[in-house]
Amino acid sequence: MSTMAQRDWKYALAPVWPHFTELQISRGKGSFLFDREGNPYLDFTSGIGVTNTGHCHPRIVQAIQAQAEKLLHGQATILYHEPMQELVKELRTVIPDPLDCFFLTNSGSEAVESALKLARHATGRTNVTCFQGGYHGRTIGAMSVTTAKTVYRLHYQPLMPGVAVAPYPRRKEDVPYCLEELERLLVTQTAPSETAAMIVEPILGEGGYIVPPAGFLPELRRICDEHGILLILDEIQSGFGRTGQFFAFEHEPMIPDICIMAKGLASGLPLSGIAAPREVMERWVTGSHGGTYGGNPLACAAAAETIRVLKEESLPERAATLGKELIASLNRCKDSGEIHEVRGRGLMVGCEFRDTRQKPDRDRAAKVRLACLQQGLILLTCGTYDHVIRWIPPLTVSQSELSQALTVFESALMDVDPS
């Protein structure tokens, strides 16, 4: 037996993956994951916002099983297949006009790359503006517009040129300054005539679950319209019912030029995509972009059924209702001084920790998260300083499961002394 084979199997996995837990999971069902001994864990990560319909929703499992007997791979440049056609029909029922044309790929990063490439072809311009604290992925183009943490860019630079970074508002009083700086950016760093697109998350994900104040996104829409710049909204983490609407941009009266989708689209199967008006897509030179697995039949079948489940089980509405209850309960912890701030929409909620000097308290956030894990509740952190605990349970979570999670969280807060 080789030396490698004698070592722990984990040695064979690249250590570039960070690990929030050491759990070895054998199965999942609904809001729970089960380890090899059968111990249950409430999963309030949803695989980082992926399993919006819960683990192994029976209708989605059945759709995958049925498709697996028919066709496993149908390359999109060679043929059309029924699951892709069904998915397009379902997407058209939840995405507003004029976003009526779709390109499908595999991961969030690939979808971001697709959006950036489309924007350059459609406008004939080169530059892109992104926003401070945004996270868009780990491939070169996506990483170039990611500013949530330096670790995502560390030792990979220089990255894609032509990227300018604008401020992202945390509070209402920040909006005038952020818009003024954005306008200044267009006369100091990247002229409108060379700016293809602005890319922004409607709610910062890795950047700390920050909801922009009302009016900011519509103002971005206005500025882009004024200068002929395409507005790209990254709905990878916030889409498919997570915030109480199918897409987070629907909370305000505005529509992007390009909408990026992934995570919750296919309930765990690798599928992502972008939506844009047909007129914009027609400016993308045929054959200039593609991929072997994009629009895979199994993933498309899962995604089509996912959308039907979200609609028929009213899961976005459920997220809105339960999200209000979750935020109210967490605010009671805030009122007691345990948490600095609670923020979010629907079931995309963050709890920010700061110390007595009002500095980001990464240490306490980590200790609270680990205390929750020891009691069977899986949570994640986010934020530039990893000082925000994020709540992203499946949209199918029951009232009793939500109450159970809150009980564990409150216990963990009491067990971990403030810094």
pLDDT digits (tens, 9 = 90+) for 30-79: 999 999 999 999 999 999 999 999 999 999 999 999 999 999 999 999 99
Same structural domain, 268 and 219: yes
Q: Given 246, 280, 312, which residue is the final one in a domain?
A: 312
Question: Domain range for residue 340?
Answer: 3-57+314-415
**Whole-angstrom distance, CA of residue 31 vs CA of residue 404:** 12
Confidence band of 335 (pLDDT split at 50, 70, 90):
confident
Q: How far is CA 338 from the centre of its chain?
A: 27
Distance CA 343, CA 257 (A): 27
Given 268, 292, 312, which residue is the final one in a domain? 312
CA distance 183 to 108: 29
CATH number, position 261: 3.40.640.10
With 90 as the cut, is the pLDDT of residue 3 above it?
no
Q: Are residues 98 and 175 both part of a single domain?
A: yes
d(CA 182, CA 257): 19
Cα dihedral sign for 83, 86, 88, 93?
Answer: negative
Tens of pLDDT along 272-309?
A: 999 999 999 999 999 999 999 999 999 999 999 999 99
At residue 86, the pLDDT reads: 98
**Contact call for residues 249 and 256 (beta carbons, < 8 A):** yes
- Regarding whether 333 and 297 lie in a shared domain, the answer is no
Q: What is the mean pLDDT of residues 179-199?
A: 98
Q: Domain count for the chain, please give it.
A: 2
Whether residues 208 and 302 fall in one domain: yes
| Model confidence at 5: pLDDT above 70 | no
Average pLDDT over residues 2-31: 86
Specify whether 391 is located in the same domain as 357: yes
Please state the φ and ψ torsions of residue 29, each to the nearest 5 degrees. -150, 120
Q: Are residues 196 and 99 in the same domain?
A: yes
CATH no. for residue 10? 3.90.1150.10
User: Is 62 within a domain?
Assistant: no
Q: Is residue 38 part of a domain?
A: yes
Q: Is the pLDDT of residue 1 over 50?
A: no
Q: Verify that 272 and 403 share a domain, yes or no.
A: no
Which residue type occupies 339? I
For residue 358, count CB atoms less than 10 angstroms from its CB and return exposed for 0-12, middle for 13-18, buried for 19 or more: exposed
Do 294 and 343 sit in the same domain of this protein? no
Give percent of the chain above pLDDT 90.
94
Whether residue 403 sits in one domain with residue 268: no
The answer to whether residue 164 sits within a structural domain is yes
Is 266 in the same domain as 287?
yes
On the question of pLDDT at 134 being above 90, the answer is: yes
Question: Is 63 a member of any domain?
Answer: no
Residue 286 and residue 347 in one domain? no
Other Cβ atoms within 10 Å of 96 Cβ, number: 14
Residue 18 lies in a domain: yes
What is the tens place of the pLDDT at every residue in 353-381? 999 999 999 999 999 999 999 999 999 99
Task: For residues 300 and 304, give the distance between their C-alpha atoms in angstroms, rounded to a whole number.
Answer: 6
pTM, two decimals, is 0.96
Look at residue 241 and tell me if it is in a domain. Answer: yes
- Dist CA 208 CA 36 (whole Å): 33
According to DSSP, the residues that pair with 303 across neighbouring strands are: none
Distance from C-alpha of 28 to C-alpha of 61, rounded to nearest angstrom: 12
Mean pLDDT score across all residues of the chain? 96
Question: Rounded to whole angstroms, what are the CA distances from 297 to 110, 268, 335?
Answer: 18, 14, 49
Residue 372 lies in a domain: yes
Model confidence at 337, in pLDDT bands (50, 70, 90)?
confident
Task: Determine, yes or no, domain membership for 65.
Answer: no
